[in-house]
Amino acid sequence: MMIRRLFQRMCNAATAVTLAVLVCGAVLTLAIGAAALLGYPPLRVAVLWLHGAAGSWYALSSSCADACPLLLTGLAAGVAFRAGVLNIGAQGQFLMGALVAVALSTRMMICHQPVLVIPLALIGGALAGGMWGLIAQYLERYRSVPVVLSTILLNFVALYLAEAALQGPLQAVGTAAAQSPEIAGKYWLPLFVAYTDFHIGIILALVLAVLLWVLQERTVFGFESQVVGLNPGTAKAMRMPVTWRQFQIMFISGGCAGLGGAIQVLGQVHFMTAHMGNYGYAGIAVALLGRLNPLGIIFSAGFFGFLDTGAFRVEESSLALPHDMANVIKAVVILVMLVLAGISLRRSRRVGNPGSSAPTETPSA
C-alpha cells in the first residue's frame, strides 16, 4: 500500500515536471520573441541559447555546474521555509561557506593530502554556513529579532567580513583586489567526465537533495518540522520540541548554503572574491518554483542553470546580445514561470478547500 502511494506521489511529481518542461519551452520562445521586437533574430537567439545551454556535453556540463550552487541554496531556502523558518540569509551562509573552504584549501591547510583536504574544506564550509544561520536563530529565540530581518542583515555582515578577509589574511599575493589565491589544482573537486565541468560536487548536491526529500517526507523529524512550520501552536500543544527543531532546521538550511559556497570555490571557480553571484537570493526563487520540494528544487535549479548558461553563450556569440538584454529575457522567463506556478498552486488549493476558512498557511518569503 505504501509503495503504491509512493508511486502515486512520484507520478504526481513527474507530471508536474513534464508540465514545467513544456511550459519552459513555450516561455523561452515567448521571451526570445520579445528579443525579436528589439531587433535580434529570434530564431538564431533561440538556437544559440539552446545550443549554448545543452548543445554539447560541455555545454550541458556548464549548465549543470551553474545549477549546482543554485540547487544547494534552493534546498537551503526550501528546507527552512517548509518548517516556517524564514531564512533569507542563504547568500551570507553561502559566502561564509566559500570563505572557510578557501581558507582550508589555501592558507590554513592542516595537511596536504587531497583526500583529506577536500572533505575537510567541504565539511568546514557546510559547518560555517550552518553556524552563520544559527546566529540568526539564536537572535530570534533569545533576543526577539525576527529571523527574516537578522538573516538579511547578516548577509551584509558576511559580505564585508569576506571582503575584509580577502584583503587581509586571505589576499592573493601580488594583487590589490579583494581576492584569494587560486586553489592548487590537486585540491579541485575531481571531474567525473574529463574535459567538462561535471565535477563531483554536482553528484553530491543531487544526493543531498534526495536525502533531504527522504528526511522531509518520510521521517518523524520531517513530519515534526512541517507541523512546526504550519502551526507552531499545535506543535507546542502536542509536545513537539519546537525550538529545538527550528534550530536544527536552520543549521541544515545554513549548512546546505555553506556547502554550496564550498562546492562553488572548490569545483567551479577555484578562487574567491566577495562577489560570486547572487546564488543565495536566487535560491529563494528556485525553492519557490520547486514548491519547496527537494525533488522539485532539483528541476527548478536545473532550469535556472540552463537559462543562465544559455544567456551567457548568446552574449558571447557573434550576435553579441547585450548582457542586460540576456538578463531581461531571463527575468521575464522566471517571472512567467512563477506566475504559472502560482496559478496552478491556487487551482489545486481551490479544489482542495470548499470552506471559507481555507488554510493559507504556505510560508512565503
Partner 1 sequence: MATPPLALKLTGIRKIFNGIAALDNVSLDVAAGSVHGILGENGAGKTTLMNIIAGLIRPDSGSMEVMGTSLPAGGVRASRARGIGMVHQHFKLVDNQSVLDNIVLAVSKSLWSRRPQTVLRDIEHWCHELKWTVDLQTPVGELGVGQQQRVEIIKALCGGGRILILDEPTAALTPAEVDELALAVAGLAKAGMTVLFISHKLHEVTQMCQVISILRRGKLVYSGGVADLSVEQIAEKMVGAKVDVPRLVQAQGNTKSHALLELESVDYRISKRTPLILKQIHLRVHPGEILGIAGVDGNGQSELAAVISGAVIATAGRIMRSGAANADAPAGSAYIPEDRHKEALVLALPIVANLLLRKYRQRPFVRWGFCRFGQWRGHATNLVRKYDIRCRDVDDAVGTLSGGNQQKVVLARELSDLPELILAVNPTRGLDVGATAFVLRQLLDARTRGAGVLLIHGDLDELLSVSDRVAVMSGGKLLETPWPHSTPEQIGRMMLGGA
* Residue 76 cell numbers, joined: 537551503
d(C-alpha 161, C-alpha 155), whole Å? 10
Closest of 213, 206, 211 to residue 291, by C-alpha: 213
> Does residue 39 touch partner 1 according to CB under 8 A?
no
d(C-alpha 313, C-alpha 45), whole Å? 10
For residues 155 and 216, which CB has a smaller minimum distance to partner 1 in the complex?
216
> Does residue 57 touch partner 1 according to CB under 8 A?
no
> Does residue 5 touch partner 1 according to CB under 8 A?
yes
Q: How many C-beta atoms surround the C-beta of residue 2 within 10 A?
A: 7
For residues 318 and 356, which CB has a smaller minimum distance to partner 1 in the complex?
356
Which range touches partner 1 (CB under 8 A), out of 33-41, 120-128, 265-273, 345-353? Answer: 345-353
> Does residue 210 touch partner 1 according to CB under 8 A?
no
Give the distance, in angstroms, between the CA of residue 148 and the centroid of all CA atoms in the same chain: 18
Task: Please report where in the chains the cell 555546474 appears, as a residue.
Answer: 65
CB of 232 to partner 1, least distance (A): 9
| DSSP of 101-161 | HHHHHTTS-S---HHHHHHHHHHHHHHHHHHHHHHHHHHHHHH---HHHHHHHHHHHHHHH
> Does residue 344 touch partner 1 according to CB under 8 A?
no
Quick note: the x/- pattern for partner 1 over 215-234, rule CB under 8 A, is ---xxxx-x--xx--xx-xx
CB of 7 to partner 1, least distance (A): 13
Residues 297-326 that bind partner 1 (CB under 8 A): none
CB of 229 to partner 1, least distance (A): 9
> Does residue 356 touch partner 1 according to CB under 8 A?
yes
Interface residue with partner 1, options 39, 168, 174, 352 (CB under 8 A) = 352
Residues 82-121 that bind partner 1 (CB under 8 A): none
- The interaxial angle of helices 200-218 and 220-230, nearest 10 deg, is 70
For residues 138 and 221, which CB has a smaller minimum distance to partner 1 in the complex?
221
d(C-alpha 288, C-alpha 284), whole Å? 6
> Does residue 146 touch partner 1 according to CB under 8 A?
no
- CB 269 within 8 Å of CB 276: yes
CB of 317 to partner 1, least distance (A): 47
d(C-alpha 264, C-alpha 78), whole Å? 20
> Does residue 359 touch partner 1 according to CB under 8 A?
yes
Q: How many residues bind partner 1, per CB under 8 A?
A: 29
Residues 238-297 that bind partner 1 (CB under 8 A): 238-239
For residues 123 and 230, which CB has a smaller minimum distance to partner 1 in the complex?
230
Q: How many C-beta atoms surround the C-beta of residue 132 within 10 A?
A: 31
Rounded to the nearest 5°, which phi and psi values hold at 273?
-125, 170
For residues 174 and 354, which CB has a smaller minimum distance to partner 1 in the complex?
354
Interface residue with partner 1, options 115, 173, 176, 351 (CB under 8 A) = 351
Cα Rg of the chain (Å, integer): 21
> Does residue 361 touch partner 1 according to CB under 8 A?
yes
Helix (H) or strand (E) holding 77: helix 57-82
- Contacts with partner 1 by CB under 8 A lie at 1-2, 5, 218-221, 223, 226-227, 230-231, 233-234, 236-239, 351-359, 361-362
